[in-house]
Every structure is written in C-alpha cells, then in structure tokens.
Structure 1
Amino acid sequence: MASIDLNSDLGENEPGRVVADDAAMLEIVTSANVSCGFHAGTPEGIRETVAAAVRGGIVIGAHPGYRDHANFGRVDVDVDPATLQAQVEYQIGALIALASSAGGRVSYVKPHGALYNRIAHDEDQAGAVVAAVKAIDPGMVVLGLAGGAVLEVAERAGLEVAVEAFADRAYRADGRLVPRGEAGAVLHGPAVVAERVVRLASEGVIHAADGSALRISAQSVCVHGDSPGAVAMASEIRRMLRASGIAIAPFAGA
C-alpha cells in the first residue's frame, strides 16, 4: 500500500497576527513543523502547539527560519554560515526544550520560508543548517525540497533525509517552487489540490505550472496552515487519500 505523510507549518500565531488554526490542523496532519520563534510565534503559543501535538500523537519537527519577524521569514537574507548555524542551533534547542517540557521530542528539521528556498540551491547556507542539526542531534531527519542542495549536503554528513512536496504551491519546470510574489504561486481549490496529492502519492508525479510532469518521490506533503481555506483543503486531501487506498503516516518516528 502506498503511504504518505501530511505536514503543516504551525506554532506561528501571536497576538495581532493569527495565521492558522493549529488545533484543527493537528486533527488532520501526521507531522507538525513548529515555529522556533524567529520568524513568527511566541514562547507560550509555541508551547501550546507542541503540547497539543504531543496529546494527539503528532510527530514534531523544528521549523527554524531567518531572524526576520517583520517579513515572516519570507525574504532572502545574506547571512554568514557561522552566524546562521548559531541561529539555527538556538532555534532548534528552544523547540527541543518546549517539546521536552510537554513530554515530547523533536524528530526532524524543516527550515522555513526564504531559508528553505535558499538552501535548496545555496550549499554554504545549506551546510550551516546541516551542521546545526548534526551538532544538536544527528538522529533528527532533515526534510527538504526534492533535488535540493540541503538534502545532498545532509546525506554527505551522514544524516537521514526525507523529500517533501507541496500540495498547495505551484512548481516551475526545474522543480523549484514558483515564488509567492508571482501569480498562481499558491493553489486554492481543495478538490484540485487533493487530486494532485493523490497522483503524487500513487504515481510520484506532480505537474508544474507550464503543464510539464515532474517526477518526485516524496515521503511527506505540506499543506500550509496559513493559506486561505487551509483546514478545508487539508481535510479534503486526507479524505481523498484514504478513499484512494493510500495510507497516511508520519515519515519520522515520534
């Protein structure tokens, strides 16, 4: 039986900037990429999300980003590798502490936003992120974009990796994501997106914005919690996967 993990970026809410319904998404996904505080979220909010994940048996991943709260971590930042490594170590360490206090653990690392996109092609910054993961806990899995530099760097460093695809983001023909500032970068139709995920899980194929077919062997699919109608979309994806006989299970151990 085919199997796929569903993940979502959570723990990003704060007073005056509520972006997702964490409680509802945790009823649907099998893995939670929890903000580590640099791009969004508050310590108390992040702790609440982590505790809810632990209660629901959801696997927890660290979601570190650039130190750029004003732009939600979605603007590229030129930072030297040593500084970036320290910042990522700091973020992962903070989430590990909050998870531990709730009786849980952090099983994987998926960088956020602009950092995620940068390390898909920048080996220097990818190396800094990988070094941070290895220094904190080499048993954690690195989750990243198919074909991304960070996955190659992580494998060379002896870390376990997992490939991620995006349910609600458009792809370019080269396998990169269409930048959020471009028209059509984020997909919104639950039925269309769910059908796309079913085909990805069953056939390993997803269509790029130009109509070309990309072959992606993904272990996890991301549904962004901050997208309009995110809960309805995630629910439909889960329903259609099950209706198609595809198991939904985490890629990393709890």
Structure 2
Amino acid sequence: MKHKLKYIKLPVLVILVAFLFGFAEKRNNARKVSEVKVQFIAGENLYVTEEAVNKLLIQNDVAAAGIDKEILDLNRVERLLNNHDMIENAEAFLSLDGKLQTKISQRKPIGRIVGSSSFYLDKNGLEMPLSPYYSARVPLLLDIDSSNIEKVYPLVSYIQQDKFLTQHITGVRRLPGNKFELQMRKLDFKVYFGKAENIALKLNNFKAFYKKALQDEKLETYKKVNLQFGDQVVCTKK
C-alpha cells in the first residue's frame, strides 16, 4: 500500500510543479509589454516610419516587446519621440492587454528652401529637415535661408491654407528689399507680390484676375502681373 502511495505521489508532484511553473510564467508575462504599436494620425504622409520609431525606442532602451511594465517610463518615451525632427506631438500609453501604444502627429511642411542647404519650412514657421522616406509637394522657396525665413513665412502660410493658391503657385522667390515673386504652374508669367503685407487683399485680387483672364482666354497674353500696389492688379502684355 505504501509503495502504491509513493507511485501516486510522484505524478501528482510533477503535475503540481508544472502547474506552478506555468502559473508563474503566465504571471511574469502579464507584467511585461506584449507589443509596441505605433499609430500615425490618419491621412498624413510618412516623413518618419513605424520601423524608424520602433528602432529609435529600442536603441534608447526605453521600450520594446518583453520589457517589464514596472520599469517602463511613459514620460521618457514621449520626450524621446517629441524630440524627433519629424514629430510634432506624441502620446504614449499602456493598454489593458499589455500593448505600449504611441499616437504620433508629424510636422507639416509648407515650403521647401532650395539653396546651399535644403530644408522644409513647417506650418509653425520652423526649420524642418528633409525626410528620407517622403518628399512633400510644396512650393519651392528660392533665395531664402535661415536668416530670413520669418519674412516669407506669413505669405507661404497663407498660400498653404488656400486650395486654389496651393494648386497654382509652385514657388516663391525673395527679391532685394525682402520683396517676393510668385512662380505659377504651367504659366510663363511671373507674379510680383512685393513685401509680405496685405497678403489676403493681394491674393484675393490675384484670384479674381486669374479667373477672369482664364474665362476670357487671356492668361497666355501676359508676361508680368504686379500685385505690389495692393488694391489693384497691374498687368503687362507680351
């Protein structure tokens, strides 16, 4: 009887050890991050990729699948992401199923400076480096550098917010005296804008001129359109 009891105890002991081991492993896994999920705001072009974000987090030892939740510093994750050149704002949080989720809003370029050094001008008027992943279709900003981007920013910002202007203006060139010239898509005339003053008035006048000239089929007859006088559009024919 005693021998039978010993044989019975051994399988029970093995099952008990296996159960305890499995329970401990499950509990340990519940304390770890199961996955890192990167989410970008819908509709944005990817100036930084999910792979690049994951690589950044791993290289800085702040987040990776399998990391213990107790040592995960969400504030540090957000600071690291917000310091990235292509990211405007990032939020990090831990879901109930153990996933580290990051919600990322990227910076938005509105113009591209072309010269000895090339970079974007973003919607907040700040310099933004070019992206290796995506090239933005924005107006080219010529004869402009870091020392005078604040002069062109109000004009480029206004253009970016107007669908008609965005479709038709492909470039902005700075002239002596901080005056500006607009370059048009598929048209060979230049638009002399003058200083970045009375921007709404000048551009509304230009839109009215453009639509009327298009209707009259006269757009190709002009070689220069001058908006510098603000309250009127002065045109020179070829």
Smaller-chain TM-score bracket: under 0.3
**Larger RCO (alpha carbons 8 Å, 6+ apart):** 1
Q: TM-score, normalised by structure 1?
A: 0.21
Larger Rg: 2
